[in-house]
C-alpha cells in the first residue's frame, strides 16, 4: 500500500464544506485502490485572521513543506478584505513553493456540451504583483500605481508547460494576449510564445486578444483545447469557462511545481461563497475533481480515473444536482451518490 501525507487547509465558508466532501470521496477511493492517505489539518483561514491577526502562523510554509501535497478548500470571509486572504495565504504558498502552473481543466460532465479544454495559468508573476504603491492618500490628488512583472524565465516555463500539454492532447494551443493595448509586457509574452513554438513540431499556436477570446469561449467553446494565459487573464478565463461548462462549482484546479522540489497545492476554482455558506448546498464536484487531480499527481491515475468515471455516471444516470445546477440536492446527497458510484 502506498502512503501519502496530505496537508489539508479547509479555509472558510463552503471551503470547509467541500473539503469534507472531497475527503469522504478520497477515503472511499483509498479503500478501493489501496492508497493510504493521512491528513494533517491546518486552521489557516480568515477565521484565524480575525482571532489571531494572521491567516497563517509565522513560518507556516515550513509546516507543510514536507507533505506530499496540499489540499485547500477556499479562503475569504465578509469582514476581511479579500487582498488579506489572498496575500496572507494563497500567494505566499503559490510563490513560496514555486507553484508556477495553475492548471484548470474545464469539461462538462453531462456529455451534453462540447467543451473539454484546459486553462494553463501563469501563477507566480504577471499582473499579481505587489510592486507599486499609493501616494497622496485621502487627498484629491490621490494616485495608485501597480506594476506587472513578466520575466523571460517565468514566461518561458509556463509556455513550455502548455506546449508539452498541447502535444499530449490535440496539438492546438491558444495564447491569450492583449498586445494591442498593453504594449510592453504582452508583446514580450507573444515573442516568447513564438520563440518556444518555433522549436516544436506538432503544435500549432494561435494568439487571441483576451477580450475576443472571452467572447469566442462563450459562443463556441469546442474550438479550444489548451489555453495559456498570464496570471490575471488565466484567472478570468477559467471562471468564465467554468460557468460556460455549467457552474463554477464544477471546476477543479491545481497549483503545480512541475519540478517537484516543493509540494503542489490542489484547490477548487471557486471561493468561499459566503452567500450560500453554512446551508449545506455547495456543489462538491469542483473539490472532488480537484481531489482526482491530486491523486493523478501522486501517481494514482487509475484511482483518479475512477473518480471521474463515477462523476460522469452520476451526471448521466441520475438527477442528483445541487441548486447551482438547477437541482435540490444537498452537498451530502451528491457526495453520497458519487461514493456509491465509486
Our finding on whether 252 is near ligand NAI (CB under 6 A) is no
Contact characters 232-251, ligand NAI, x per CB under 6 A: ----------------xx--
Interface residue with ligand NAI among 8, 9, 14, 213 (CB under 6 A) is 14
Q: Is residue 248 within 8 Å of 286, Cβ to Cβ?
A: yes
Q: Residue 26 belongs to what H/E stretch?
A: helix 14-33
With binding defined as CB under 6 A, does residue 76 bind ligand NAI?
yes
Q: Residue 175 CB, nearest distance to Mg ion (Å)?
A: 20
Determine if 271 is a binding residue for ligand NAI (CB under 6 A).
yes
User: Which of 231, 283, 290, 304 forms a contact with ligand NAI (CB under 6 A)?
Assistant: 283
Q: What string of H, E and C letters represents the secondary structure of 166-210? A: HHHCCCEEEEEECCCCCCCHHHHHHHHHHHHHHCCCCCEEEEEEH
The Cα–Cα gap between 150 and 188 comes to 8
Contacts of Mg ion in 183-242 (CB under 5 A)? 235
> What does residue 36 show for φ and ψ, rounded to 5 degrees?
-100, 110
Nearest alpha carbon to residue 136 among 128, 145, 148, 127 = 145
90 closest CA partner among 153, 15, 33, 151:
15
Q: Based on CB atoms, which residue is closest to ligand NAI, 77 or 173?
A: 77
Selection from ligand NAI, Mg ion, none that 273 binds (CB < 5 to 8 A by kind) is ligand NAI
* Total of residues contacting ligand NAI (CB under 6 A): 22
296 binds ligand NAI (CB under 6 A): no
The C-alpha cell of 81 is what?
478584505
Q: Which residues bind ligand NAI (CB under 6 A)?
A: 14, 18, 74-76, 82, 85, 90, 248-249, 267, 270-276, 282-283, 286, 324
Amino acid at each position: 500500500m502506498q502512503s501519502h501525507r496530505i496537508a489539508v487547509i479547509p479555509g472558510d465558508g463552503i471551503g470547509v464544506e467541500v473539503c469534507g466532501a472531497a475527503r469522504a470521496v478520497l477515503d472511499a477511493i483509498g479503500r478501493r485502490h489501496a492508497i493510504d492517505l493521512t491528513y494533517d489539518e491546518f486552521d489557516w483561514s480568515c477565521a484565524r485572521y480575525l482571532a489571531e491577526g494572521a491567516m497563517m502562523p509565522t513560518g507556516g510554509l515550513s509546516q507543510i513543506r514536507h507533505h506530499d501535497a496540499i489540499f485547500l478548500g477556499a479562503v475569504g470571509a465578509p469582514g476581511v478584505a479579500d487582498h488579506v486572504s489572498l496575500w496572507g495565504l494563497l500567494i505566499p504558498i503559490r510563490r513560496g513553493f514555486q507553484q508556477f502552473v495553475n492548471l484548470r481543466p474545464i469539461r462538462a460532465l453531462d456529455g451534453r456540451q462540447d467543451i473539454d479544454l484546459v486553462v494553463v495559468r501563469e501563477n507566480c508573476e504577471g499582473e499579481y504583483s505587489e510592486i507599486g504603491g499609493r501616494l497622496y492618500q485621502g487627498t484629491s490628488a490621490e494616485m495608485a500605481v501597480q506594476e506587472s512583472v513578466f520575466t523571460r524565465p517565468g514566461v518561458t516555463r509556463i509556455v513550455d508547460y502548455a506546449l508539452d500539454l498541447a502535444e499530449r492532447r490535440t496539438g492546438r494551443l491558444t495564447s491569450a494576449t492583449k498586445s494591442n493595448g498593453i504594449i510592453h509586457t504582452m508583446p514580450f509574452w507573444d515573442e516568447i510564445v513564438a520563440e518556444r513554438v518555433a522549436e516544436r513540431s506538432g503544435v500549432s499556436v494561435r494568439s487571441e486578444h483576451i477580450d475576443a477570446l472571452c467572447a469566442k469561449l462563450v459562443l463556441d467553446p469546442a474550438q479550444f483545447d489548451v489555453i495559456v494565459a498570464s496570471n490575471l487573464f488565466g484567472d478570468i478565463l477559467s471562471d468564465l469557462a467554468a460557468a460556460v461548462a455549467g457552474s463554477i462549482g464544477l471546476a477543479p484546479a491545481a497549483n503545480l511545481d512541475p519540478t517537484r522540489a516543493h509540494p503542489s497545492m490542489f484547490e477548487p476554482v471557486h471561493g468561499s461563497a459566503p452567500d450560500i455558506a453554512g446551508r449545506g448546498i455547495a456543489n462538491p464536484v469542483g473539490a472532488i475533481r480537484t481531489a482526482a487531480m491530486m491523486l493523478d499527481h501522486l501517481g494514482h491515475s487509475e484511482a483518479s480515473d475512477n473518480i471521474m468515471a463515477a462523476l460522469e455516471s452520476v451526471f448521466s444516470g441520475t438527477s442528483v444536482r445541487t441548486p447551482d445546477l438547477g437541482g435540490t440536492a444537498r452537498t451530502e446527497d451528491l457526495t453520497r451518490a458519487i461514493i456509491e458510484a465509486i
